[in-house]
Amino acid sequence: MHRRLRWIITTMGVVALVAGLVASPRAQEIKFFRLGTGSISGVYFPVGGLIASAISHPPGPSRCGEGGSCGVPGMVAVAQASRGSLSNIRDIRAGRLEAALVQSDIAYLAVKGKAPFSGKKAVPGLRAIASLYPEAVHVVVRRKSPIKTIGDLRGRRISLDLKGSGTRSIARLVLKRYGIGSKDVRRLNSQVGPGVDRLKSGRIDAFFFVGGYPAPVISQLAKTVPLRLLPIEGNRAAAIRKANPFLASVTVPASVYGRMAATPTLAVGALLVVSDTVRQDVVYGVTRALWHPSTRQILDQAPRAARRMRVENALTGVAIPLHTGAVRYYREKKMLGSGGSKPATHRDGAPGGGSSQHPTSATPGATREPGSKP
């Protein structure tokens, strides 16, 4: 709880910094960069706040390596709480965000124009900066619950998260494969924080959560309520993966949430995405700041799930085009060939699936500053 409070206070401090800079005579030099995250009780919110801190470098005399930030010169990035992946992508399309943290499956559907992004709702201009870390599908029940499998959820009270969240999208996909439709369960939809409270008080029997493990809010619950995760495995898991190449099979290790057995499940990748209308030099700077050695110290304050972020895995499971600014950075690091493909020596295999090729057909960014209207 103290760490959560510290993250919130840090984010409030960034907002206060922005307010002060706007009032300063040097405000015309500031480039604002809005970063969508997730609910304050999830993992995206604190991770997004730390990334925003790492890529920011407000106007001032301090230089990188001399006590100053190693972020993008003149940039102030602000992490914003949100309803999750779906709403983040819609806000990028509408110009309300420059970038966001998004599940790899939701990004893939948006670029391909598949439901819930069919037709005019497609977002072909969505571009990737990096894959950050794997996110496991958690289906959480009490340890003494009679619910042993996903199929046992039929007729039960469950939370699928809110409409517009990546968790809800994955939950519906999993339930459908087990033959469970929306009318076969009693839904009390909420974000993971209220979902935890409802499971604790007995108002629901299970909740879905997609995120890196261990999720702090679930770890906190496990201290007072013995928990289990329902497995997603076997032929049904294989069928889900075959139909959805952005998914991978993972195992949540034993004792991650108290005295709990290792549990096989599915996972997606957490992507940092951006609009292709953001300038190439800006995205190049963001990518370089994200993987700068000084950023490691910032990321080591993140939830344990996000401490796995490593540049060598930045292209793993990226099934949408990279932004041209990111392409420039990864080519400089010899992580991409001249045509955009990964060198054979690049380490692959982290959760998230996706193609081994990384399209570089993203159109060059427009010449607007981040934060300005499209």
Could you tell me the sign of the dihedral formed by the alpha carbons of 366, 320, 314, 191, in that order?
A: positive
Torsion, CA 82, CA 112, CA 212, CA 151, rounded to 10: 100
- What is the radius of gyration, based on Cα positions, of the chain? 20
Tokens 């500031």, residue?
30
**Collapsed DSSP state (helix, strand, coil) of residue 8:** helix
Q: What is the signed CA dihedral for 207, 210, 216, 219, rounded to 10 degrees?
A: 50
Residue 229: the pLDDT is 97
Cis check: omega of the bond before 116, within 30 degrees of 0 = yes
The pLDDT of residue 18 is 46
Hey, where are the domains in the chain?
A: 2-133+269-332, 136-266
**What is the predicted pLDDT for the residue at 72?**
93
For residue 370, which of 273, 270, 274, 290 has the smallest C-alpha distance? 274
Contact between residue 76 and residue 17 where contact means Cβ atoms under 8 Å apart: yes
Angle ∠(345,348,351) on CA atoms, nearest 5: 170
| Identical topology for domains 2-133+269-332 and 136-266 | yes
Q: What pLDDT was estimated at residue 117?
A: 93
330-334 contacts: CB < 8 A, separation 24 or more? 330/287
Nearest to 366 by CA among 302, 292, 275: 275
Structural element, H or E, at residue 237: helix 234-243
**CA angle, corner 39, sides to 38 and 40, nearest 5?**
120
pLDDT of residue 318: 87
Name the residue type at position 253.
P
State the chain's maximal CA–CA distance in angstroms.
Answer: 64
Could you tell me if 160 and 140 are in contact, meaning their C-beta atoms sit under 8 angstroms apart?
Answer: no
Label residue 20 exposed, middle or buried (CB < 10 Å: 0-12, 13-18, 19+). Answer: exposed
What is residue 366's predicted lDDT score, i.e. its pLDDT? Answer: 35
CA 55 to chain CA centroid, nearest Å? 17
Per-residue pLDDT of the chain (374 residues; tens, 9 = 90+): 444 444 443 444 444 444 444 444 444 467 899 999 998 877 899 999 999 999 999 887 677 876 667 899 999 999 999 988 999 999 999 999 999 999 898 999 999 999 889 999 999 999 999 999 888 999 999 999 999 999 999 999 999 988 867 788 899 999 999 999 988 999 887 888 889 999 999 999 999 999 888 888 899 999 999 999 999 999 999 999 888 878 888 899 998 999 999 999 999 889 999 999 999 999 999 999 999 999 988 888 887 877 889 999 899 878 899 999 999 999 999 998 766 655 433 333 333 333 333 443 333 333 333 443 33
Interatomic CA distance for residues 292 and 299, integer angstroms: 11
- ∠ CA 63-371-91, nearest 5°, is 130
Q: Which CATH number fits domain 136-266: 3.40.50.2300, 3.40.190.10, 3.40.630.10, 1.10.10.10?
A: 3.40.190.10
Tokens coding 244:
């959805």
Handedness of CA 353, 357, 360, 361 (dihedral sign): negative
- Homologous superfamily (CATH) for 2-133+269-332: Periplasmic binding protein-like II (3.40.190.10)
Grouping H, G, I as helix, E, B as strand and the rest as coil, residue 345 is coil
Q: In angstroms, rounded to a whole number, what is the distance separating the alpha carbons of residues 139 and 151? A: 12
How many whole angstroms separate alpha carbon 60 and alpha carbon 334? 33
pLDDT at 28: 44
pLDDT (0 to 100) of residue 29 = 66
What is the signed CA dihedral for 48, 43, 5, 91, rounded to 10 degrees? 50
In 3-state terms, what secondary structure has residue 152? helix
- For residues 349 and 204, give the distance between their C-alpha atoms in angstroms, rounded to a whole number: 36
Phi, psi of 158 (to 5 degrees): -135, 155
**pLDDT of res. 349:** 33
Q: Which of 313, 306, 317, 314 is nearest to 248 (CA)?
A: 317
